[in-house]
Chain A
Amino acid sequence: MRWSNGAGSALLCGVVLCAVVGVVGCWTDPDLVNNRPVTAPTPGGNILCSADCVIIDNATPLAATGGAKDSVSALLRLAEFQVSGHAGDQIALAINANGELSGADASAALVIDVDGTSEEYPLKTLPASIDVFSFATAQSVGVKYSVRRGTLRRPAADVRLIQQVTGGSVTHASTPWHRAALATRARLCSGGSCGDSSVCEITAATGTCGSVDWAVTPFYTPSTWSAEEFQSDSGTSASRLIAITFSKPIQAANILIEDPTFVGNTATAYDSSGAFAFSDFAYSDSAGVNHPDSASFSGSINMLVLNPAHSDYVAYDVVITLKPRIVISFDTASTPMNNGIPLLLPKEFARADIKPTYSGAAWPDSMQFRIRIDSAGHPLSNRTIGLVVIPVDSGGSGSDGSYGHHHFGVSGGPAKPRGTVPATVSTGDSIGTFTYRSSQYSAPETIRATYLSADTALARLAVGVDGLHRVDSSSTILWIGPTIAHPTADSHYATDSMETMLSTLASSFAAAHHGKPLPLNDMSLPWGGRFDYDTAKLWSGGHVEHRAGRSADIRTKAGAPGALTYMEKNWVFDFWNDSLHGCVHPEPAPQEHWHLQQSKELGITCKL
């Protein structure tokens, strides 16, 4: 697959790939920024210049004359031009070498051919300017610049050869070594300097581009080429296969191959299913003639394999483009956090006056997120992003277990409630916003945002009441109410002050009743929220209160083990109400018990 020319390459490539391999959600966004050159050179030349034509602007091609297995004794072609002129017009070559070529071998020479007539100029004694051709009549001449190979110390990078045409015009030009015409590198980054950019150039054996790590095996940075290019081994002997792997799929890769001489240079792109795209590179078929070629892949690329032709020496320049990223953010200054994760209050507390507060205001049970799609550092506008809250319902074995719910829903009953978000959100001009609202249940929550083939974005948050502590079973506290769905170890959480009140009640009760422990039933779950204790109504029924660590049940049912007697109930009421300023109300049969509230302690009206 070759460069077809122009900006449509990436799009075309993407469409074709989708059609061929059937990649669901394959990226077809026209705004996807592709940083590979849109004016890449092809053999035969497509870069026109007029008066001045840069042939080389660095030392790379001259250094390449150091010899290669596939190009021994062959001329290294630097450039070809077709120039039309009239009598009196001139063609000259300007040379700026700063003496860097004085170390060249005596046999190394610049060869200038004009319509089949060539002259050689030893590199080590090159003048500052050479008169190449003078037009005597109106005509068109072909001019070729080559270098005869020889031992050459790598010269400085500012060796410049410029063809200067006076009067005439260049009708055809091929300057394959003129790299300035290649990549527009302004948007490129490399390695760890990429930041939020999603385009990187492979410059090391291992590196990181955004959230993607790459590894190149084998990898060698040649002195022959520019610093952005690499090859399999040192020197210019036959190259070996190179594999480039990525820690997670990338969106696109652009590969430039240098000095492909023989047929058989290929590149293959792999996704999770295997090889899905293949490209064979053009070749010069002439030792010493560099016909760099490019290939471009789009898809969900896990690996690239660069396979050189047999006995051929090649080097590569690879630029990768990450998938567009969905970026979700929120205002951290106004968001309650817990261990770096936003912590929201479960909604619909039984009583608004017992809601925890944050910074003097009611703890929020909703929060607003910002969302955008980043493509190579640029936000995409008016895109519709899909949103969903991923349910965490592992029956308590997963991350939701720490929230006290060791259960699934009842068979045929409702699934675990989760927070809500809109089904979609638009990015608008650049950034969209959406609101998450919690459910009544404490839980870890994850919002998943998706957009075509862009990397899925996840926003994690927690829903619960912060700062609850377990009131442990002890010599003065008897845990009541063990269930598989809500084990007692998870059903006895309270606020600090409630914990103090209960501990005081329990120790005083035991002291006044011959050491009898206080039969303490449900309180709150570790992170509060609705306590669906009823095994027949999991995720639906349960306590209306008991959501903020400020309620506790005491066993009073006659005949139940440890239940309070009549006198003990009077004692508990007196102590809880008159000494600790709490509130008490009994609950009806068949599961009668006493419901203790921590109300007056908080300056709250004591309700039933």
Chain B
Amino acid sequence: MQTLTRLFAGIIALLSFDTQWAEAQSLPGTNLTATARVRVVTMSQDTTIVSYSLLSDVGSLERLVSFKIKLTMTPTMIVVPSPDSVWVIRKLFSGITGASWVALAGIGAGDSTPTLTLKAIGLPGIATAWYHGDSLPVVDEDDSVAVANAPSLDPYADLSKIIQTVGVDTFPTSRTMLNIYNHLWVVTTGACNLGWITAASSWCNFLKGYSHASSISVLGYSAILDSARTYGGGSVINDAAYFMLRANTDYMLHTLVDTSWITLTYVCGNKFRIRSSLYASPHLVYDVTPSSDTTGVTAAGSTSDSIGYTDTFFTASTSGTVHLYYNYPSSPFATVANGAISC
């Protein structure tokens, strides 16, 4: 509180309350440095979960009060840190959607916030975030000169520190392998540009090359990413970049189902073949008309970038036209008639 009072008393050079302080300081709310640590980024189906903690630098002159992330969607959940009586969370702030945590008691210099977690539907991406301290510009409202000369200051643009951190990007309109892969390239490039990945000429080029849509090589990208993570004792890529890229990669490896990458072919008798170029192994359902039988089948994912596909065979219990479903009983994405060829 004492610090707050001192800051109130002399924070703006314009108003010349205390030039000694004013010369030494920036605008109120920005006289602190905090490191936004990304603790974990994971995906559960189509939901991204990001956890952070902010460490206020020991040299901070203001107590850290708020941390806000701008998202293009409303989060499905913001976890209130403990104790909840001293935290305020908000999904909409000043007309901005995202996640806001306000530490009512403030976070002192050298201290860290508890874990701040949000969930939102989308892919891990790079987002704008703000944090600010506990100081506000002081102006004597009874002083007409001071009021007339008071500058227009935006609480976000002027009175906060702006950073980039991991956020959540909206899914592409169509969740195709190409579109998701392009997002990987975008966030990879973004991480490189932000310096989250050092040695840009080598690791960044590797990763950007592997993530380029001209050669979809998720397994290769994943291996390079892990190599970068371990190379040099973990100094090549920071947590934010690694967790964000890892989650995007894992989504493609384990979750993404682009049915255009799956084909159904009649073999002989009642035997059919599912050929999948996906990395994930989705659980599919087929039925045979005119019978009412429905049967589940797992389409094995590709285990190699170079081979590019994996075949899965099944034999229908009856002869008829086979329909293949991903989200049964929605419309089948593949339909093949029984060719009545003896095996």
In residues 144-184 of chain A, which contact B (Cβ within 8 Å)?
A: none
B151 close to chain A: CB less than 8 A: yes
**Closest partner residue, chain B, to A553 (CB atom):** B141
Which of A27-35, A41-49, A362-370, A588-596 interfaces with chain B?
A588-596
Instruction: Give the residues in chain A near B9, CB-CB below 8 Å.
Output: 588-589
B178 close to chain A: CB less than 8 A: no
Alpha-carbon distance A575/B148, docked complex (angstroms) = 26
Alpha-carbon distance A570/B77, docked complex (angstroms) = 23
In residues 494-529 of chain A, which contact B (Cβ within 8 Å)?
A: none
Interface string of B114-153 (1 = CB under 8 A from A): 0000000000000000000010111111111001101111
B11 to chain A, nearest CB (A): 9
User: Are the C-beta atoms of A543 and B141 separated by less than 8 Å?
Assistant: yes
B326 close to chain A: CB less than 8 A: no
Alpha-carbon distance A261/B311, docked complex (angstroms) = 143
A198 to chain B, nearest CB (A): 50
User: Are the C-beta atoms of B141 and A570 separated by less than 8 Å?
Assistant: no
A469 to chain B, nearest CB (A): 22
Choose one: A351, A542, A546, A592; the contact of B8 (CB below 8 Å): A592
Choose one: B100, B136, B148; the contact of A584 (CB below 8 Å): B136
User: Are the C-beta atoms of A608 and B144 separated by less than 8 Å?
Assistant: no
Instruction: Give the residues in chain A near B4, CB-CB below 8 Å.
Output: 566
Alpha-carbon distance A70/B280, docked complex (angstroms) = 135
A429 to chain B, nearest CB (A): 44
Choose one: A568, A589, A595; the contact of B141 (CB below 8 Å): A595
A558 close to chain B: CB less than 8 A: yes
Interface band, chain A: 35 or more
Interface string of A292-304 (1 = CB under 8 A from B): 0000000000000
In residues 148-175 of chain B, which contact A (Cβ within 8 Å)?
A: 148, 150-155
Alpha-carbon distance A409/B102, docked complex (angstroms) = 46
**Closest partner residue, chain A, to B94 (CB atom):** A578
User: Are the C-beta atoms of A578 and B144 separated by less than 8 Å?
Assistant: no
User: Are the C-beta atoms of A577 and B155 separated by less than 8 Å?
Assistant: yes
User: Are the C-beta atoms of A608 and B151 separated by less than 8 Å?
Assistant: yes
Instruction: Give the residues in chain B near A575, CB-CB below 8 Å.
Output: 88
Instruction: Give the residues in chain A near B141, CB-CB below 8 Å.
Output: 543-546, 551, 585, 587, 595
Instruction: Give the residues in chain A near B93, CB-CB below 8 Å.
Output: 574, 578-579
Instruction: Give the residues in chain A near B86, CB-CB below 8 Å.
Output: 567
Instruction: Give the residues in chain B near A546, CB-CB below 8 Å.
Output: 141
User: Are the C-beta atoms of A574 and B138 separated by less than 8 Å?
Assistant: no
User: Are the C-beta atoms of A606 and B88 separated by less than 8 Å?
Assistant: no
**Closest partner residue, chain B, to A573 (CB atom):** B136
Alpha-carbon distance A578/B9, docked complex (angstroms) = 24
A600 close to chain B: CB less than 8 A: yes
B146 to chain A, nearest CB (A): 8
Instruction: Give the residues in chain A near B94, CB-CB below 8 Å.
Output: 577-578, 581, 600
B105 close to chain A: CB less than 8 A: yes
B307 close to chain A: CB less than 8 A: no
User: Are the C-beta atoms of B90 and A586 separated by less than 8 Å?
Assistant: no
B106 close to chain A: CB less than 8 A: yes
User: Are the C-beta atoms of B144 and A588 separated by less than 8 Å?
Assistant: no
Alpha-carbon distance A570/B103, docked complex (angstroms) = 8
Instruction: Give the residues in chain A near B65, CB-CB below 8 Å.
Output: 570
User: Are the C-beta atoms of B1 and A545 separated by less than 8 Å?
Assistant: no
B290 close to chain A: CB less than 8 A: no
B206 close to chain A: CB less than 8 A: no
User: Are the C-beta atoms of A567 and B136 separated by less than 8 Å?
Assistant: no
A571 close to chain B: CB less than 8 A: yes
Alpha-carbon distance A573/B148, docked complex (angstroms) = 23
User: Are the C-beta atoms of B88 and A571 separated by less than 8 Å?
Assistant: yes
A311 to chain B, nearest CB (A): 82
B314 close to chain A: CB less than 8 A: no
Instruction: Give the residues in chain B near A585, CB-CB below 8 Å.
Output: 136-139, 141
User: Are the C-beta atoms of B139 and A587 separated by less than 8 Å?
Assistant: yes
User: Are the C-beta atoms of A350 and B102 separated by less than 8 Å?
Assistant: no
Alpha-carbon distance A589/B7, docked complex (angstroms) = 12
B99 to chain A, nearest CB (A): 12
4 nearest CB pairs, A to B:
A578-B93, A567-B104, A608-B150, A608-B139
Residues of B whose CB lies within 8 Å of any CB of A are 1, 4-5, 8-9, 17, 65-66, 86, 88, 90, 92-95, 100, 102-106, 134, 136-144, 147-148, 150-155
**A-B pairs with beta carbons under 8 Å apart, 15 shown:** A541-B142, A542-B142, A544-B143, A570-B102, A570-B134, A574-B66, A574-B88, A574-B93, A579-B90, A579-B93, A585-B136, A587-B140, A587-B142, A605-B152, A607-B153
Given contacts A351-B147, A544-B143, 10 further A-B contacts (CB under 8 A): A542-B142, A567-B105, A570-B65, A570-B103, A574-B66, A577-B94, A588-B9, A606-B153, A606-B155, A608-B153
